[in-house]
Structure 1
Amino acid sequence: MDIKDSHGIALTILAMLCLAGMDATGKILVQDYPIVQILAVRFAIFFFIVLVIARLKGDLGSIRSGIFGTQLLRSIVLTLEVSVFIFAFSIMPLADVHAIAAMAPLIAILMAGWFLGEEIDSRSWMSVTIGFIGALIIIRPGLGVMSWQSLIPVCGAILWAAYQVLSRRVSHFDSPDTTVFYTASIGLIIFGGLTPFYWVEPSVTGWQLLIFNGFLGATGHYLLIKALALTPASILQPFSYALLFWAIIIGFVIFDELPDGMTLFGAIVILAAGVYASDLGRKLMGSSPIDPAKGEREVEH
């Protein structure tokens, strides 16, 4: 492993800490403020940072897209995904949501095969099957444990997987800067347009949390972009599961929440399946890594 890969891995782990912190502050905020308002402030901060970076780079012309329709669809899917997850965090423990959401990279493998024509080898099929078993262990249908709440992060994982596949699609036509611009601007337009109908005047503490939530989200995504510039996504993907680790710690420290034994076991099964499907798993098992020409899977958000 060279020094760039080490830096990319470190940045990914730090990005996961920021995103777990963003989810935790969102869980706090949703008790007093509408989801639309929280996300409007988050995307406003994200959009401001994107404009500042583009201005500093002197690259404002990068906002032109060669595949606008897909960019629009991708951004709409993201707005649905973040809304679903922030709702899930409001009614479920942080770690439980992330344990189920860890299915997303495995779902993305299937979607990439179906919609992008990328090859799905036997190892990938096996990892998806194992991951599905892990999800069943967490949800436990038919054992009197499953509730409708468990289906919310499942929907979020499907949306997040679709977002990853669409991101890969637009990467063939637009630069990362263009994609980030549409991510921030369309999210701001959607939630900013709805916010006047749901606005609740924040307290001083509320403003602090809203701004901190947006800052953590923007920082997390920026760190991921930097990590991907240094290290291939197929190498970084297993380390994105650090998000679950940070969610367990933050959930315990802030909310006094700990997942039960079966949830932890199911999460471990899903994580093992994800690592098994990754380049790291292939190297450890003595198999050839995925050919980048056939598609690298994006790091989980």
Structure 2
Amino acid sequence: MQSNAQLGIWLMIATTFVFAIQDGISQHLAREYNVLMVVMIRYWFFAAFVIFIATRKTGSIRAAAATEQPVLQAFRGVLLAAEICVMVAAFTLLGLVESHAIFACYPLLIAALSGPVLGESVGWRRWAAIGVGFIGVLIILQPGYTVFAPAAAVPLLSAFMFALYGLLTRYVARKDTAATSFFWTGTSGAIVMTAVGLWFWEPMSRQDWVWMASLCVTGATGHWLLIKCYEVSEANVVQPFAYLQLVFASMIGLFIFNETLETHVAIGAAIVVAAGLFTLFRARKRAAKAV
């Protein structure tokens, strides 16, 4: 068990590193081309990967797609695709550092929304952590201060959308397998992004097609690593290490895109991460008591 936990942690670290690279490539491409087109092409490759993985686990496409809640599954897939578009747009507006600093609040949003969406009870300790975490978000956003940019609301919207996606994923898991949810995530997102993204097609240079191929490969690699991570270890063991994506993405933003790390962003992000880790700790402790 210990070796599996250690392997799971290393796989999660590798996952966050690959996803941070993916974010850096997304920012580069979205600065040159329409965000919807970039996400659409990325989803084509992602859908092919999803169909391959899901059918391997279930035996056929029909088995992978079988669900009693197709509308909810399709909505999940569309919601994630829309969230990715919003987050990539945030990269172009604010850069990787500030976008990820704000996006890091999504576990707090999951904890806050778990009551109305899933009917779970949230204790006063987790509510206190949620409150502290959002103080951290306010420190980053600096509302009412001269440097506040309305664009900072964009990654906050992305965090809300991703939190809702995560909660709906837990909800559909009550009836559907992980392979079925994974299948619907990729296919429904690809269909909608194709219907929208084709209207914004732009010619792409040969060099940027190489970057696009790299984006597709890193996306598939990241998801493969994440699947393996959850296969060898429990989610509550490895989830705290998902915050390393903030660190890796910030490093890419600082050293490759020449972004700056403002003091208020660093302080706010530290508060948000600390509050998020506490909510994960409380959830893990509660789950242990329930066993």
Distance 1:79 1:23 in 2: 15
Structure 1 residues 58 and 118: CA distance shift in structure 2, 3 A? closer
Aligned 8 A contact 1:248 1:258 in 2: no
CA RMSD of aligned residues (A): 1.9
Deviation of the 1:145 alpha carbon: 2.1
- Give 2:287's aligned residue: 291
Number of residue pairs aligned between Structure 1 and Structure 2: 289
**3-state SS of paired residue (2:144):** coil
Aligned 8 A contact 1:235 1:278 in 2: no
Deviation of the 1:144 alpha carbon: 1.5
Distance 2:150 2:94 in 1: 11
- Give 1:47's aligned residue: 47
TM-score, structure 2 as length reference: 0.94
2:278 matched to 1:276? yes
1:59-117 deviation digits (Å, cap 9, x = unpaired): 22222112111111111211221111010001112011000000001000111111111
**Identity %, equivalent residues:** 31
Deviation of the 1:57 alpha carbon: 4.7
- Give 2:14's aligned residue: 14
Deviation of the 1:277 alpha carbon: 1.4
Distance 1:198 1:143 in 2: 36
Distance 2:132 2:68 in 1: 38
- Give 1:25's aligned residue: 25
Residue identity opposite 1:59 in structure 2: G
Structure number with higher helix proportion: 2
Distance 2:126 2:95 in 1: 30
2:132 matched to 1:130? yes
Deviation of the 1:274 alpha carbon: 0.9
Distance 1:94 1:278 in 2: 24
Q: For 1:82, which of 81, 84, 88 is the aligned residue? A: 84
TM-score, structure 1 as length reference: 0.91
**3-state SS of paired residue (1:200):** coil
Residue identity opposite 1:264 in structure 2: A
2:72 matched to 1:64? no
Deviation of the 1:256 alpha carbon: 1.1
- Give 2:189's aligned residue: 187
Distance 1:50 1:106 in 2: 28
- Give 1:297's aligned residue: none
Q: Which consecutive unaligned segments of at least 5 residues does structure 1 have?
A: 295-301
Residue identity opposite 1:291 in structure 2: A
Distance 2:151 2:289 in 1: 39
Aligned 8 A contact 1:140 1:146 in 2: yes
Q: Which consecutive unaligned segments of at least 5 residues does structure 2 have?
A: none
Aligned 8 A contact 1:19 1:220 in 2: yes
Distance 1:31 1:163 in 2: 26
Distance 2:284 2:262 in 1: 37
Deviation of the 1:215 alpha carbon: 1.5
Aligned 8 A contact 1:93 1:259 in 2: no
Distance 1:106 1:99 in 2: 13
